[in-house]
Amino acid sequence: MTSPDELSKRREQEAKKIALSLAKQRGEKQASIKGGDGTVAWVTESLCIGCDQCTIVCDDEAIELYFKDVASPLMQVPSNRKAKIIRDACTGCRLCVLACPTDAIEMIDR
């Protein structure tokens, strides 16, 4: 029977493997996204869930959240937030694209 110690070691090893795999995938994804001075981030409003992840990773204060009314009057939520890119401040670093859980951000040519 597997002892709690062995189980804990195995879990640790598996966690390391998963972390490595995710880092690799992230690196591959980052390499596949265009970025740099000639690009700027763009948010597709309908995909944004206002989760705030992009504003946390953006070091250049190039993203702000704003409130938008919900389209359907049947739905009542206290706030419906969306992200907006401040074009002049965006350096094209792509971090927000990697952080967004809904793939709402893409890099476009300036």
- Summarize as ranges the residues that interact with ligand SF4 (CB under 6 A): 41, 43, 48-54, 57-58, 60, 62-63, 83, 85, 90-96, 99-100, 102, 104-105
Cross-strand pairs, 105: 43
Q: Which is nearer to ligand SF4, 7 or 89 (CB)?
A: 89
CA-to-CA distance for 59 and 92, rounded, in angstroms?
A: 11
Q: How far is the CB of 7 from ligand SF4 (least distance, A)?
A: 35
Lookup result for tokens 């009542």: 76
Q: Is 83 helix (H, G, I), strand (E, B) or coil?
A: strand
Q: Longest Cα pair distance anywhere in the chain, in angstroms?
A: 61
Beta carbon of residue 28, minimum distance to ligand SF4 (angstroms, whole number): 18
Judged by CB, which is closer to ligand SF4: 2, or 105? 105
- Of 82, 80, 81, 108, which is closest to residue 94 (Cα–Cα)? 108
**For residues 30 and 57, which CB has a smaller minimum distance to ligand SF4 in the complex?**
57
Toward ligand SF4, which CB reaches closer, 80 or 99?
99
